[in-house]
Amino acid sequence: MQGCDLQINIEQKADICIIKCIGNIDSDAYSGLKEVFDKLMREKKYKIVVDLSDVNFISSTGWGIFIGSLQKIRSGGGDLRLAAMTEEVENIYNMVNFGELLLSYDTIEEAIDSFK
């Protein structure tokens, strides 16, 4: 799936969906990424890892997609995990204390294993 300058790929590993984002997650990418989350919720896929290794920027709108999806995901018995953040993205994540809401892991494998 392609948003303005955000490419989104979805991979399934057992009962965990991995969303690979490539590009910037900003207001231009909002509708594409939100549709991915909405689709996963409709399909009752509530264990989600977002691979951010190829994302250099997430706007407040982009962070809002993650935060806004949490309630539905958690009410379905799952969770949302972020993985492999770039330094730029991790700096913002730490600055605004998103770690209190969203768990982050250094690697995709660690994020996947955290569901076990």
pLDDT for 4:
56
Beta-carbon count within 10 A of 73 CB = 19
Q: Mean pLDDT throughout 64-75?
A: 94
Residue 24 corresponds to which tokens in the numbers above? 């910037």
Domain with 98, as residue range(s), is: 6-113
Residue 54: inside a domain: yes
Residue 30: inside a domain: yes
Closest CA to 4 of 36, 20, 27, 35: 27
What's the predicted TM-score (pTM) here?
0.93
Residue located via tokens 């689709």: 39
Beta bridge mates, 16: 13
pLDDT digits (tens, 9 = 90+) for 23-58: 999 999 999 999 999 999 999 999 999 999 999 999
Identify the band that residue 5 occupies on the pLDDT scale cut at 50, 70 and 90.
confident
Report the CATH number that the domain containing residue 91 is assigned in CATH. Answer: 3.30.750.24
Residue 1: inside a domain: no
In this predicted structure, the answer to whether residue 105 has a pLDDT above a threshold of 60 is: yes
Number of domains in the chain: 1
